[in-house]
Amino acid sequence: MRQKFKPGFTNSQLVGLVPDSEYRKRWKKAKPGYFEEARRLSREKRADYKFTVLAMYSEGQPICSCCNENRIEFLTINHLIGKGHRRDHLPSTALYRFLIVHDFPSGFNVLCFNCNCALGHFGFCPHTLERDLIDQETQHAREEMVKE
């Protein structure tokens, strides 16, 4: 059973991006190690959610559906419905949780950050072009073989 932490701290407070308020100083003094532990747990929980969601959408070990990248650090969830959808506004952990709670709805797939960024910025991933090119060359070679 996971220990429940006192709410009322934002993430940036937890990671120490904002200076300690009087309240936080008092809290820290009263419970040494609290912030470190909270941070460790939230990191663990995030990794849990991420793995569950990516494994589900990869139908097995998490893998990029474009380039087969399979190192989890490089992978992320991609919105097939594109930008502007309301779920785009969710930070990744909230999105992972949303997908788990809603029993993994369709409209999402797993991509690595490279493929995801290329798709987001240019509307296509260079891998797709390269694959098309290889397909064309294979097709061409086949036709040549038939001719001979």
Q: Which residues form the interface with Zn ion (CB under 5 A)?
A: 64, 66-67, 69, 112, 115, 125, 127
Q: Kindly tell me which of 117 and 141 has the beta carbon lying closer to Zn ion.
A: 117
| The pair of three-digit structure tokens given for residue 111, joined into one six-digit string | 């991509």
Shortest Å, Cβ 135 to Zn ion = 15
Q: Kindly tell me which of 38 and 125 has the beta carbon lying closer to Zn ion.
A: 125
Q: Rounded distance, CA 42 to CA 7, Å?
A: 13
Shortest Å, Cβ 69 to Zn ion = 4
Q: Kindly tell me which of 48 and 130 has the beta carbon lying closer to Zn ion.
A: 130
Shortest Å, Cβ 89 to Zn ion = 24
How wide is the angle at C-alpha 93 spanned by C-alphas 89 and 96, nearest 5°?
90
Q: Which helix (H) or strand (E) holds 6?
A: none
Q: Decide if 90 contacts 101 (C-beta within 8 A).
A: no
Q: Decide if 87 contacts 79 (C-beta within 8 A).
A: yes
Q: Kindly tell me which of 54 and 125 has the beta carbon lying closer to Zn ion.
A: 125
Q: Which residue, chain included where needed, has tokens 């663990």?
A: 44
Shortest Å, Cβ 100 to Zn ion = 23
